[in-house]
């Protein structure tokens, strides 16, 4: 059994999360504070002991692990010939936009959404076209979001909008989109000739009673980006995969991957993926998901009892709660600064995701650290209510 309450200190390890500013509780960047699965550590240790780290050949074992995992665990079958490996999902998305759009094209996003979507669109000289999610209050201190399908239909009917970036599950809204919702998206996109690119990096991190639906199972013409990095806390090993729908799309994306010079990966990323997508990795992942759900329930209960004015989006997937701080009268950037400077706890402002009045937390940390972070956040917010 993994002990997620006891973890080694990351201070001084070159951690972007912990060493960017020491002396604060970092509940910001989407990076867990848990060591990865023991089977991954063992596999990496064996690879290190070999002692030679030259250019990496990605072989059959890699593709078998990747395709086998998604087939067994998620009912998502795809051929290895359709896969392009690269160094991360963000480089993947940027390369896909470069490959499948022209400068000036509109790329649809459903805000609030992962901030790197915006930069990837801008960097490829395309237009950001927002289709805001629709908020729905649920009572008991929670709310949720739904897609504005009428708005999506209108935007997709505009021929200048050629691509939709889908976040499945959605960061930071916490939604695990249902098959029915994704089928509606696929129908709209198909009828208007809009290509869908789905970022599914959080796909393993669903809460109990919620099931991830791979977008590729409802839309065979889509591009899907996946990585073990969020679920197994291996982002620094830089490995991700693009699943393409056909040879032509694959060739265009592969060309863009090479233009962007993100076509090479390191041996540790390859080794870690193979170990992650194993029976031992899956067993560890289930323990992690249980712990994350406990942290979710703890966070919901604390906010409901001590800060009922500030509701939290129902967290169906990811470890990134999205909290409405508008009752405080503070802007999200202002609150992020206040919490960092006065309370020494670091959160993300909703502005970076396209929506003021909200903050995003990272609860993928030991419970005692989460408790202390929430103590400071709740204390600060109460002063402004």
Q: Does the N-terminal peptide bond of residue 112 adopt cis geometry, omega within 30 degrees of 0?
A: yes
Please give the pLDDT value at position 7: 86
Residue-wise pLDDT for 323-332, tens only, equals 999 999 999 9
Please give the pLDDT value at position 384: 86
What is the pTM assigned to this prediction?
Answer: 0.97
Among candidate residues 348, 351, 344, the one with its CA nearest the CA of residue 375? 344
C-alpha to C-alpha distance for 319 and 313, rounded to whole angstroms: 12
Q: What is the mean pLDDT of residues 280-297?
A: 98
Please give the pLDDT value at position 260: 82
Chain center to CA of 35: 18
Please give the pLDDT value at position 1: 81
* Mean pLDDT for all residues in the chain: 97
Residue-wise pLDDT for 209-261, tens only, equals 999 999 999 999 999 999 999 999 999 999 999 999 999 999 999 999 998 88
Please give the pLDDT value at position 294: 98
Please give the pLDDT value at position 385: 84
Contacts of 384 (CB under 8 A, 6+ apart): 328, 329, 330
Please give the pLDDT value at position 180: 98
Contacts of 184 (CB under 8 A, 6+ apart): 147, 149
Q: What is the mean pLDDT of residues 350-360?
A: 98
Q: What is the mean pLDDT of residues 32-42?
A: 97
Beta-bridge partners for 346: 26
Q: Residue 262 — very low, low, confident or very high, per pLDDT cuts 50/70/90? A: confident
Rg (CA), the chain: 20
For residue 121, is pLDDT > 90?
A: yes
Edge-first strand listing for the sheet containing 127-130? 83-86, 240-243, 223-226, 195-199, 161-167, 106-109, 127-130
C-alpha to C-alpha distance for 299 and 293, rounded to whole angstroms: 10
Residue-wise pLDDT for 62-109, tens only, equals 999 999 999 999 999 999 999 999 999 999 999 999 999 999 999 999
Please give the pLDDT value at position 184: 98
C-alpha to C-alpha distance for 277 and 68, rounded to whole angstroms: 8
For residue 143, is pLDDT > 90?
A: yes
For residue 314, is pLDDT > 90?
A: yes
Q: What is the mean pLDDT of residues 294-322?
A: 97
């Amino acid at each position: 059994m993994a002990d997620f309450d006891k973890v080694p200190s990351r201070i001084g390890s070159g951690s972007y999360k912990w060493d960017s500013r020491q002396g604060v509780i970092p509940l910001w960047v989407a990076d867990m504070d848990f060591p990865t699965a023991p089977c991954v550590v063992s596999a990496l240790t064996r690879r290190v002991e070999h002692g030679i780290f030259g250019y990496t050949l990605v072989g059959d074992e890699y593709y078998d692990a990747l395709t086998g995992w998604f087939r067994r665990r998620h009912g998502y079958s795809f051929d290895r010939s359709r896969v392009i490996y690269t160094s991360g999902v963000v480089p993947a998305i940027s390369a896909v936009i470069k490959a499948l759009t022209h400068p000036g094209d509109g790329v649809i996003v459903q805000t609030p959404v992962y901030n790197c979507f915006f930069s990837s669109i801008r960097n490829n000289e395309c237009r950001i076209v927002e289709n805001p999610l629709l908020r729905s209050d649920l009572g008991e201190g929670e709310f949720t979001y739904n897609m504005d399908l009428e708005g999506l239909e209108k935007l997709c009917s505009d021929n200048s909008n050629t691509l939709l970036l889908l976040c499945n599950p959605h960061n930071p809204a916490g939604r695990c989109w249902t098959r029915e919702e994704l089928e509606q998206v696929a129908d709209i996109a198909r009828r208007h000739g809009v290509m869908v690119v789905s970022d599914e990096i959080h796909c393993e991190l669903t809460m109990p009673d919620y099931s991830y639906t791979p977008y590729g199972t409802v839309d065979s013409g889509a591009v899907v980006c996946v990585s073990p990095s969020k679920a197994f806390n291996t982002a620094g090993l830089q490995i991700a995969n693009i699943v393409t729908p056909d040879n032509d799309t694959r060739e265009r994306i592969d060309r863009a991957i090479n233009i962007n010079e993100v076509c090479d990966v390191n041996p540790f990323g390859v080794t870690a993926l193979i170990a992650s997508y194993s029976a031992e990795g899956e067993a560890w992942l289930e323990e992690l998901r249980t712990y994350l759900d406990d942290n979710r329930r703890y966070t919901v209960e604390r906010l409901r009892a001590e800060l009922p004015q500030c509701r939290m989006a129902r967290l169906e997937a990811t470890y990134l709660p999205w909290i409405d701080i508008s009752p405080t009268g503070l802007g999200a950037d202002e609150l992020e600064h206040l919490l960092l400077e006065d309370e020494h706890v670091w959160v993300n402002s909703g502005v970076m995701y396209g929506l003021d009045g909200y903050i995003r937390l990272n609860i993928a940390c030991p419970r005692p650290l989460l408790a202390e972070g929430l103590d400071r956040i709740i204390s600060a917010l109460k002063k402004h209510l």
